[in-house]
Chain A
Amino acid sequence: MNPNLQKGALVAAVVAFAILPTFLKSYGVYLCTLFCVYLMATYGLNLTVGYAGQMSLGQAAFFGIGAYIAAIALKAGLPFLVVLPIAAVACFAVGLALGFPALRVQHHYLAFATLGFNILVYLVMRNEEKITGGTFGISGIPRPSLFGLSLDGALPFFWFTLAFTLALIYALWWLLRSPWGRAFAALRDNPIRAESLGVNITAYTLLAFAIGAACAGIGGVFFAALVQFIEPAPFHFSVSLMMLLAVIVGGSGRFFGPVIGTVVIVLLPEWLRFMQNWYLAVFGFAVVALMMWLPGGILSLTDRFQAKGAAK
């Protein structure tokens, strides 16, 4: 496809999505906002999984840390735009501290470390009632206001979240196009070769993981402001699992992979409500099937068609 056409299609899609909630009821607007919030977390995870080639099973923990920091700080009266960097930096730092021991060793260790970390964070959220409110959670989290403009309404908050999500995605896109980001791809495709060319594997992977964690933290801040009431359940390990699967299903390492994956884990279950338990069961087995026939995720279908077209 011609690049200008591609750009045009992208802009049209974004504009359509931005207008869409004006036709929806409040629950629809909420879902669209939730979709954006999840996108921030899954885009961060795509950096870790798709570009640095590491499995992380703790994205929901960082998402939760961001949300709890936001809940506590916003209730204490700190402005939203101050809370955002605090949460991002905190998650980045925790990511470094967790990733360092795990990445020193080997591949799948980060998966296990993040899995355990998620369980631990969940326990802290549930048990440290003085700080986190335990299972009762924290309620009455205020929505931000921007330049004196209140974002209390569902629609203004959606646009605010969407704008921020797009900014974050653009920042990641820019990052991946920079020389620094190109080193990632080299690292994923052939780590040993990348290392012999002077790329410090551990440092790059660690940074990718920590940036991914920071993105989840930012997503968490928006999540807290969106739902205005947080408790430990949305940050359970199973949510991390769904986020990871979202990235993989969409196509890890593909820039628009997280969009497809997030549709599958956030929006589809809502449309398919009548299926209830069956949805997850089918989803689980569908992932197995996908790995067999399309290990590169849904977006790798395009490659396949192109390859077929070229063969003709």
Chain B
Amino acid sequence: MGDLFQLVISGTATGAIYALAALGFTLLWQASGTINFAQGEFVMLPAFVILFFLGVGAPLWVAFLLACAVAMLFLGFGFKRAIVDPLIKHGVIPLVIATLGLSIGLKQLAKIVWGAEAHPFPSPFPAGQFSVLGTNVSWADVGTLLLAGLIVFGLQMFLNKTVTGRAMQACAQNTDAAKVLGIDVRKMVLYVFLINAVLAVVAALLVTPTYLAKFDMGDSIGQKAFFAAIIGGFNQTRGALLGGVLIGILENVVGFYVSPAYKEGVALMLFLLVILFRPEGLLGRTEERKV
């Protein structure tokens, strides 16, 4: 029982990180119909940017903030302007293919610049564990959960309670109606890209201490993000959260009780079950088909 409790806690923490990446993924999809296959690389690059700022002597939180600024500029604004805007008019598939190409290009570039080895990355949380009801819980897990929870909660509040947030949701639901209501759709879409970039930096900050900074670290987290988004429901922000946490917990449980070798297959099995029985995702709504 103690084992299970521990697995659930650390699984929830990992899942929360998946959820952050998945959240950005879902937001991009809702706002612009973009499926970003380079989402994993969007987490990998900030990890190296943070390491770079740490290398020049900045403390971790400064490095993090600077990385957020850099990511917003390049992975948010730059990505939208240079890749999404010119491509979206060709339809979804060329854009998806372009993000696949981008993923390969960025990964290889990272390999050339930073080498193929894994770089250690400092944890933002104190090391060590404490004991609750006879179970050891690490500070890192608790910190990850709190920070990720805070970000998701804050984002939800922003989307639901502020005028800008609601305008962004309106754009996602019906672009034309939003335009008629006088919402600056292009600005709202840009905000979504900026938020996605920041979410990726937070995910990088939380995931890299355990995954280590490596050129291909994005592969796994990117895939988990897709699956989390679909399992939860592609058109629901809360869905990404549920999907991410579900995958995190189940991976841990399967890895411990069944076989660690098949841990990576959990997300797929869950995904297949969901599309068989609830294709719109656990929390999703069915989308009407547009002609």
Interface residues of A (CB under 8 A from B): 53, 55, 101-102, 104-109, 111-113, 115-117, 119-120, 123, 126-127, 192, 241, 244-245, 248, 277-278, 280-288, 290-292, 295
Contact = CB atoms under 8 A, between A and B. Distances in A.
Interface stretch (B82-90, B138-146, B199-207): B82-90
Nearest to B289: A192
Q: Top 6 nearest A-B pairs by Cβ distance?
A: A284-B105, A287-B101, A116-B268, A284-B104, A281-B108, A291-B98
Nearest to B107: A284
Given A119-B268, A280-B108, A295 B94 contact: yes
Contact of B101 (A53, A108, A285): A285
A127 B230 contact: no
Contacts of B35: 108
A127 B262 contact: yes
B261 interface: yes
B85 to A, nearest CB: 10
Contacts of B108: 277-278, 280-281, 284
A283 B108 CA distance: 10
Contacts of A278: 108, 112
B102 A245 contact: no
B247 to A, nearest CB: 12
Size bracket, chain B contacts: 35 or more
Contact of A241 (B94, B104, B269): B104
Interface in B216-247: 223, 226-227, 230
Contact of B267 (A53, A116, A241, A288): A116
Contact of A285 (B94, B105, B269): B105
A283 B104 contact: yes
Contact of A244 (B94, B100, B259, B279): B100
Contacts of B102: 284-285, 287-288
Interface of B: 35, 83, 86-87, 90, 92-98, 100-109, 111-112, 223, 226-227, 230, 259, 261-262, 264-265, 267-269, 271-272, 275-276, 279, 291
Nearest to B86: A292
Contact of B97 (A109, A119, A127, A248): A248
Among B83, B103, B104, B227, find the residue whose CB has the most chain A CB atoms closer than 10 A.
Answer: B104
B122 to A, nearest CB: 28
Given A292-B87, A292-B98, A55 B265 contact: no
B227 A112 contact: yes
Among A106, A245, A284, find the residue whose CB has the most chain B CB atoms closer than 10 A.
Answer: A284
Contact of A281 (B86, B93, B109, B269): B109
Given A119-B264, A119-B265, A127-B261, A112 B97 contact: no
Given A120-B265, A288-B83, A295-B90, A109 B98 contact: no
A106 B92 CA distance: 13
B19 to A, nearest CB: 17
Contacts of A127: 259, 261-262
Nearest to A54: B93
A108 B111 contact: no
A112 B259 CA distance: 24
Contact of A117 (B87, B101, B264, B268): B268
B100 A287 contact: yes
Contacts of B103: 284
Given A123-B265, A284-B108, A292-B87, A109 B100 contact: no
A237 to B, nearest CB: 8
B29 to A, nearest CB: 10
A290 B102 CA distance: 12
A112 B226 CA distance: 8
Given A104-B279, A113-B271, A127-B262, A291 B95 contact: yes
Given A109-B275, A292-B87, A284 B265 contact: no
A209 B68 CA distance: 42
B271 A288 contact: no
Given A241-B100, A287-B97, 14 more contacts: A53-B93, A104-B279, A108-B96, A109-B279, A113-B272, A123-B261, A123-B262, A127-B261, A277-B111, A277-B112, A283-B105, A286-B101, A288-B101, A292-B86
